[in-house]
C-alpha cells in the first residue's frame, strides 16, 4: 500500500463531506482529534517520543487512538519483553492489527533465537515461513511428536518454500522410511506446477541415475518438441511415460497441432495408462480450442464423455458458437452438467440455438426470463425482444440512518470510518470487513449506505454485494469524479458511460487501488503504459505517486482508452478487450475468414478474465447510461468484428 502523507487540502474536503452528518460541536471535536492523530503519527516517525506520548494522552477517547499505540509497538518491537507483548495482545485482541502485531513479535523472537517464547506465542497460523520457524523451534527444544507429519504437508507442495524450511526438510528426509519416494513425488508435483528449477534442485538429492532422469524431464519441459523426438526411441519406463505426457502438455500449450502430431507418432509405442492417455488427449483438445484451431471441434467431440470436464464442454460450445453450428450447440448445452446449464450465459445461448432450430416458444420463454435481469445477458435478451431494460432504483437502507447511533453499536465500523478519513485505508478495510461479520442483512445494507455517504465507494460496492439486494444502483454504480470524467470524455470524444464502465470494473472507484501485477489507481494503469501516455501528451515521466493522483489517472486512462478505440475503429468490445489484455492479443483473436457478430466474438475470447471484463464493461456502461439520462442499447456498442483492423 502506498503511504500517502497527510494532505491538509484533502482533509478539508473530508471535513466538508462529513459536515452535516454530525452536530457542529461533535464535528469540530472530531476534526481536532484527526489533526492530533496526524501530528502524533508524524512525531513518532521523527522519533519525538515525548511529543508523541503527550499527543497520545490527548487522544484517549478517540476511536482510532489504539492504532497509534500499535504504531509505537511496531516502532520498538525489538526492545519489548514477552510479558509486555502478552499484555498488549490481550488488551487489543479484538483489533485486526493484533494478528499482525503477533507476527512481528514472532519474527523478533526468531531473530533472538528465543524458541521457547516463540512456541508460546505461535498461534498455528497458516503462514509457511512462521510454520517453518516453529519447526525450527521444536527441533531445537526436542519437541518432535508429530513433527514429521506436519513438515510433510509443506514438503509435498510443488513450489519453492522459504529458506526457513530447509532445516525442517532435512529432518523430514533424514527420518523418512522412503526418502527417495517423497523426493520423486515432490519432483512430479513441481513439474506439474511448472516449477522446473525446483524439480532440478530436488533431483540433486537423488543418485546419479535418478538425476539423469530429472535432467531429461527438465529438458522436456524446456524444449518439448525436440525432446519428444528423442524420447520416441527411449525405453518404456514409468518415468519416460510421465515425461512424454508432460512434454505433450507443454508442447500443446504452445502449438496444439504439433503436440497432436507428436502424440499420434508416439502413443502406441509405450504402455501409457488410461489416465495418461486421457490427460494428453484432453490437453491437446483444449489447447486447440484456445488457439482457435479448426481441428478443435473434432478433438473435443471425440473425447470420451467420462473425461469431459467443464472446460471441455464450454470450449466445444464456444467453437460451435463461432461456427454458428446451432444444432451442435443445442446438443452440447443439453449435455452440460446442470450447474453450467443454469448459468445465464448458457441459458441465453440455449435460447439462441433453439430459435435457430425453430423451437420458438422455448426460445422466447428463456429470453423473457433473462430480459428482466440488469446484466450483460439480461440486456442482450432485452435487445432481442426489443424491450426496455429493468434498471429500477431500490434503496438498500429502508429509512434514514442514525449514523452516530449505528456506529456507537459497532466499534469496528466506527474505527473504520476514522481510519478511512485518516487515509489509513488498509487498516480501515480490515476493521470494516471484520465489523460485517457481526451484522445482519439489514445492518449490512445500512453499512453500505454509510460507506457510500462517506464516498468510500469500493467498500460500499463490496458491502452491498454481500446482500441479496442487487437493485440499489446508486450504491453499486456511483459516479464519483464526475467533473473530471465529463471533461476528459469531451476532450477525447469518449462516451462517459464507457469511462465509468472501465473505472468500475478496474478499481471499484478506489483511487489508491494497486493490483498484484502493479497496475495503479482508478483506471488501473501499468506504470509503463502511463509513462508512454504521459510522453504522448508532452508531460514529464510520472512517478507512481503521480499516476495515483486522480486527475492524472483519469487523464492517462482516458487517453489510453482513446488510443485503443482509434486502433480498433471505435469498436467498444475490441477496445475494452485491448484495455484489459493488450492490443496484440486482440489482433490474434480476430476472426480469420468472415465478419463475426460482437456477441459471438466476445463469447469466444480465449482468456476468461478478458471475456468477463468485456461483458462487465458493456453491461456497466449500460447502467451508467441510465444515470446519465441516456437510453442507449447495449447492442449499439457491439459492432460486428472484422478480420483486420
Which residue is associated with the grid cell 526436542?
A: 142
CA dist 162 and 130 (Å) reads 10
Residue 641 φ/ψ, nearest 5 degrees = -100, 120
Catalytic position from the list 506, 551, 603, 609: 506
Which residues 6+ apart lie within 8 Å of 623 measured at CB? Answer: 374, 391, 473, 477
Write out the DSSP string of 352-419.
HHHHHTT-HHHHHHHHHHHHTSSSHHHHHHHHHHT---------SSSS---HHHHHHT-HHHHHHHHH
22: β partners: 19
Which residues 6+ apart lie within 8 Å of 21 measured at CB? Answer: 27, 403, 453
CA dist 51 and 72 (Å) reads 13
> Does residue 431 sit in helix, strand or coil?
helix
CA dist 202 and 209 (Å) reads 14
Q: Are 513 and 587 in contact (CB under 8 A)?
A: no
CA dist 571 and 123 (Å) reads 54
Which residue is associated with the grid cell 512481528?
A: 104
Which residues 6+ apart lie within 8 Å of 549 measured at CB? Answer: 521
Q: Is 400 tagged catalytic?
A: no
Which residues 6+ apart lie within 8 Å of 64 measured at CB? Answer: 37, 415, 418, 419, 422, 424
Question: Nine-digit cell at 405?
Answer: 447511533
CA dist 266 and 255 (Å) reads 17
Closest alpha carbon to 508 in 543, 477, 486: 477
Catalytic residues, which ones? 506
Amino acid at each position: 500500500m502506498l503511504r500517502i502523507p497527510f494532505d491538509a487540502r484533502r482533509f478539508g474536503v473530508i471535513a466538508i463531506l462529513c459536515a452535516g452528518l454530525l452536530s457542529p460541536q461533535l464535528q469540530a471535536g472530531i476534526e481536532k482529534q484527526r489533526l492530533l492523530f496526524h501530528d502524533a503519527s508524524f512525531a513518532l516517525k521523527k522519533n519525538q517520543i515525548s511529543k508523541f506520548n503527550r499527543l497520545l494522552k490527548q487522544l484517549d477517547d478517540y476511536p482510532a487512538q489504539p492504532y497509534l499505540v500499535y504504531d509505537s509497538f511496531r516502532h520498538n518491537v525489538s526492545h519489548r519483553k514477552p510479558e509486555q507483548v502478552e499484555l498488549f495482545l490481550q488488551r487489543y485482541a479484538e483489533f485486526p492489527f493484533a494478528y499482525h502485531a503477533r507476527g512481528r513479535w514472532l519474527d523478533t523472537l526468531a531473530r533472538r533465537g528465543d524458541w521457547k517464547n516463540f512456541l508460546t506465542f505461535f498461534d498455528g497460523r497458516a503462514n509457511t515461513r512462521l510454520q517453518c520457524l516453529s519447526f525450527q523451534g521444536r527441533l531445537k527444544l526436542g519437541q518432535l511428536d508429530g513433527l514429521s507429519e506436519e513438515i510433510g504437508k509443506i514438503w509435498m507442495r510443488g513450489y519453492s518454500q522459504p529458506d526457513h524450511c530447509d532445516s525442517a526438510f532435512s529432518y523430514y528426509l533424514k527420518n523418512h522410511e522412503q526418502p527417495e519416494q517423497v523426493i520423486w513425488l515432490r519432483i512430479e508435483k513441481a513439474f506439474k506446477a511448472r516449477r522446473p528449477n525446483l524439480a532440478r534442485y530436488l533431483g540433486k538429492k537423488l543418485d546419479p541415475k535418478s538425476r539423469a532422469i530429472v535432467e531429461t524431464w527438465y529438458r522436456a519441459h524446456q524444449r518439448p518438441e525436440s525432446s519428444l523426438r528423442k524420447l520416441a526411441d527411449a525405453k518404456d519406463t514409468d518415468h519416460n511415460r510421465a515425461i512424454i505426457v508432460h512434454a505433450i502438455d507443454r508442447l500443446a500449450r504452445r502449438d496444439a497441432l504439433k503436440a497432436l502430431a507428436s502424440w499420434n507418432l508416439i502413443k502406441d509405442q509405450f504402455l501409457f495408462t488410461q489416465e495418461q492417455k486421457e490427460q494428453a488427449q484432453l490437453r491437446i483438445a483444449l489447447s486447440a480450442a484456445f488457439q482457435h484451431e479448426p481441428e478443435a471441434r473434432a478433438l473435443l467431440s471425440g473425447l470420451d464423455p467420462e473425461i469431459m470436464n467443464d472446460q471441455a464442454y464450454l470450449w466445444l460450445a464456444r467453437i460451435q458458437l463461432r461456427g454458428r453450428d446451432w444444432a451442435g450447440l443445442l446438443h452440447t448445452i443439453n449435455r452440460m452438467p446442470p450447474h453450467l446449464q443454469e448459468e445465464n450465459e448458457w441459458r441465453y445461448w440455449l435460447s439462441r440455438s433453439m430459435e435457430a432450430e425453430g423451437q420458438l416458444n422455448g426460445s422466447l420463454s428463456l429470453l423473457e426470463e433473462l430480459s428482466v435481469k440488469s446484466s450483460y445477458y439480461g440486456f442482450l435478451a432485452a435487445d432481442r425482444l426489443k424491450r426496455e431494460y429493468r434498471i429500477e432504483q431500490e434503496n438498500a437502507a429502508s429509512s434514514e440512518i442514525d449514523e452516530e447511533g449505528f456506529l456507537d453499536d459497532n466499534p469496528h465500523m466506527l474505527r473504520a470510518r476514522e481510519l478511512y478519513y485518516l487515509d489509513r485505508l488498509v487498516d480501515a478495510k480490515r476493521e470494516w470487513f471484520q465489523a460485517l461479520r457481526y451484522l445482519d442483512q439489514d445492518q449490512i445494507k445500512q453499512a453500505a449506505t454509510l460507506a457510500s455517504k462517506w464516498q468510500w465507494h469500493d467498500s460500499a460496492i463490496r458491502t452491498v454485494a454481500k446482500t441479496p439486494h442487487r437493485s440499489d444502483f446508486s450504491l453499486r454504480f456511483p459516479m464519483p469524479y464526475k467533473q473530471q470524467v465529463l471533461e476528459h470524455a469531451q476532450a477525447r470524444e469518449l462516451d462517459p458511460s464507457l469511462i465509468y464502465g472501465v473505472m468500475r470494473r478496474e478499481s471499484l472507484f478506489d483511487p489508491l487501488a494497486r493490483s498484484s501485477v502493479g497496475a495503479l489507481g482508478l483506471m488501473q494503469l501499468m506504470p509503463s503504459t502511463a509513462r508512454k501516455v504521459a510522453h504522448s501528451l508532452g508531460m514529464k515521466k510520472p512517478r507512481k505517486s503521480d499516476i495515483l493522483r486522480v486527475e492524472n489517472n483519469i487523464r492517462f486512462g482516458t487517453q489510453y482508452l482513446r488510443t485503443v478505440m482509434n486502433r480498433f475503429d471505435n469498436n467498444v468490445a475490441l477496445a475494452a478487450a485491448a484495455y484489459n489484455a493488450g492490443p496484440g492479443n486482440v489482433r490474434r483473436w480476430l476472426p480469420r475468414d468472415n465478419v463475426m457478430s460482437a456477441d459471438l466474438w466476445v463469447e469466444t475470447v480465449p482468456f476468461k478474465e478478458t471475456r468477463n471484463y468485456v461483458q462487465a464493461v458493456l453491461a456497466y456502461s449500460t447502467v451508467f447510461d441510465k444515470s446519465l439520462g441516456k437510453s442507449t442499447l447495449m447492442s449499439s456498442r457491439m459492432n460486428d468484428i472484422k478480420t483486420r483492423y
